[in-house]
Amino acid sequence: MNIQLWYLVALAGLGTPVLAQTESVAAEVAAFVDEVPADPALVARYMTHVTFLGSPFLGGRLPGTEGMEIAKDYMQYYLAQAGLQPGAEGPEGPTWRQPFALAGRHELQRVGLTLADGTELEAREDFSVPGWGGFGRVEGPVVFVGYAVESGPEGYDYQGFPEAVDLTGKVALMLRFEPMNAEGRSAFGARRWSSAAGFEDKFRALTQRGASAVLVVNTPGADDSRTKRLSHEVSWSNNLTEQPVLLVSPETANRILAQAGQATTIEALTQEANEHGVVRDLGTRLTVDCEGESRGVMAENVLGVLPGKGTLANEVVIIGAHLDHLGMGGFGSRDNELRGKAVHPGADDNATGCSALILLAESLGAAYADMPDETPARTILFAAFSAEESGLNGARHYTREPVYPLDQTSLMINFDMIGRIEKRRLSASCLSTGDGLQAFVEGLATRTPLTLVADAGVQPASDHWTFVQAKVPSVFMSMDGIHNDYHTTRDTVDRIQPEDALWATLWVHELALEAALRPEKFPFVEPQMQARRAPAGPTVRLGVSVAAAPDTQGVVFSNIVEASSAARAGLQEGDVLVRWQGEAVTGLEAWRTSLMKLKPGDEVTLTVMRDGHAIECKTTMDAAR
């Protein structure tokens, strides 16, 4: 029996394997693996790691914090316990850590935005400093640059800039996100936004054309709650560009246009930019003044290596997972009311992926130990990357300063969020990045009880993307979709589904070992791009904050939003929902699931308990924001 099938059978608790022909054993595993639960002892070991790394004690594992230091020590300890060797090279020899600098915390000393007539706009009301750029004082002409998207994805004829446009010394007024349809979502076929909406490529395009400062407009009409606020002086800065960057409201953009005597509005310019690229001198000047300092933070990737064998030892397979999360949610949080105020534990995102990394270090180490020394087997590098949440920084640093040559890196496998797999659907995407990679992955689908969703498309939303950019074939392992607790304070250990996460880990053992033993590499192929999938959640909202009732199976309402479905129903803070659409409410999660069946405009009937009395209400559901 080949070593990968032996490991699958042994770890699944199926008893002592009997030597047999590979094909017959594979058929046996495929036939009854669905009926066998994951080994409870392995499930417990997996959850031990998830529980520690996803604990609020670590404070959300933000780079530069004590919690992240503890998390790195934890990963290093268990990779070493698995028998790995230090995977990086330091000044004094092999080391477990690969350090790199992050921009760190913005500390503003002075900030201003002044119109040509001398009017000084108000920070936090008219504009903000979101932490996306650098510092400096710039005075120059203002140019509207639309969305600053270089070009649309394949199949979309959209060019953002005329040839040879020169923005040297100018202040670029840029729309947030990307060309939109009538619903305020991506015109490029994405559910909401595609990769074209990201800041990094936009800022690079403006820098290449000489822009000295950037004003980002919260795009009017966009179906995105982020346009409703001006985030100021974020605690964490990724410094995507060296130029000063301010975030301005649509009202501020219209003040700039009015002061310039322009007979148009930002709403009209947005409509034009939705159709085609727009670069237009506005005939006015602005002064942007943003002075302060960014106190840098040294982050570290934790790297461990399992040396290869035989003629393939100089080639490498990388298995990675990001160790960091959002800390207190000062950036990236989807909990608007708790942003920057509460720990975002990141149990699924991505304590689950790093826990899988530890188990794979143990299992693959054992598999290699059983191989004869002359067996051709690639080196396997285990990487717990840092600062993924702030811009894939750790993985990007590795691809810029790789420990092993990228042209000798056969495959990168990236874990991100495997702890909340729904309907037993495990996503393996990015498969268009290697010639033969999709067929290879699909050929292993029978070796897991999970339903493998093999996807050619590439989502640029996790660390594998930096390897794709570096022309390394990659596989992205995740749940099929994104759950509602993504990037919230609710991403906690108690919601993890460990058995399916363990099955995902066991299957990646198969994938990694087959890839390490495969005689040929996967030639790199330019990938098929797809939009990042939005959180899988209801399309409606009631307009309340909710919590499980402490003494009943109902749901407690609070923070009734004005003019919402809840407000129209006459709901009050403290009401306890006990019936929904005629059915008893058995708990918070069951009620949330029932919301998935509704669409905007549907009428609902609900019963709440208020001061000991049952009150029946009706309302129509609003669209989710």
Angle subtended at Cα 588 by Cα 587 and Cα 591, rounded to the nearest 5 degrees:
85
274 backbone dihedrals φ, ψ, rounded to 5°:
-65, -25
Q: Are 614 and 554 in contact (CB under 8 A)?
A: no
Whether 526 and 548 have beta carbons less than 8 Å apart is answered as: no
Mapping DSSP to helix (H, G, I), strand (E, B) and coil, where does residue 461 land? coil
Give the total residue count for the chain. 625
Running DSSP on this structure, what letter comes out for residue 169?
Answer: T
Please give the structure tokens belonging to residue 354.
């790093």
The list of the chain residues with pLDDT below 70 reads 1-36, 103-106, 190-191, 231-239, 294-295, 528-538, 547-553, 559, 589, 624-625
3-state secondary structure of 581: coil
From residue 523, give the alpha-carbon distance in Å to each of 319, 399, 408, 443: 18, 18, 11, 18
- List beta partners, residue 94: 89
φ and ψ at residue 282, rounded to 5 degrees: -90, -5
Q: How far apart are CA 133 and CA 215, in angstroms?
A: 11
- State whether the Cα torsion 414-419-424-425 is positive or negative: negative
What angle (nearest 5°) sits at the alpha carbon of residue 48, between those of residues 44 and 49? Answer: 125
Rounded CA separation 297/392 (Å): 15
Sign of CA dihedral 161, 165, 167, 173: negative
**pLDDT of res. 556:** 82
Task: Identify the pLDDT of residue 528.
Answer: 66
Tokens matching residue 514: 């087959």
Helix 40-53 vs helix 66-81: crossing angle, to nearest 10:
150
Question: Which strand (E) or helix (H) includes residue 85?
Answer: strand 85-86
User: How is 184-227 classified by DSSP, letter by letter?
Assistant: SSBTTS-SS--GGG-HHHHHHHHHHTT-SEEEEE--TT-S-GGG
Q: Which residues pair with 217 in a beta bridge?
A: 175, 248
For residue 585, give both structure tokens: 């409410």
How many helices (H) and strands (E) the chain has is answered by: 14, 26
Q: pLDDT at position 586, please? A: 75
Q: What pLDDT is recorded for position 396?
A: 92
Cα-Cα end-to-end distance for the chain: 53
Give the residue from 335, 334, 331, 301 showing the smallest Cα distance to 319.
Answer: 301
Tokens of 467: 């390897």
Count of beta carbons in the 10 Å neighbourhood of residue 481? 19
In the chain the domains, ranked by start, together with CATH numbers, are: 1-36 (no CATH), 39-101+297-529 (3.40.630.10), 104-294 (3.50.30.30), 540-623 (2.30.42.10)
Distance CA 368, CA 573 (A): 60
With residue 252 as reference, give the H or E element that holds it.
helix 250-259
Render pLDDT for 594-612 as a digit per residue (tens, 0 to 9).
887 788 888 899 999 887 7
Cα distance between residue 518 and residue 516, in whole Å: 6
pLDDT at residue 333, as a whole number: 86
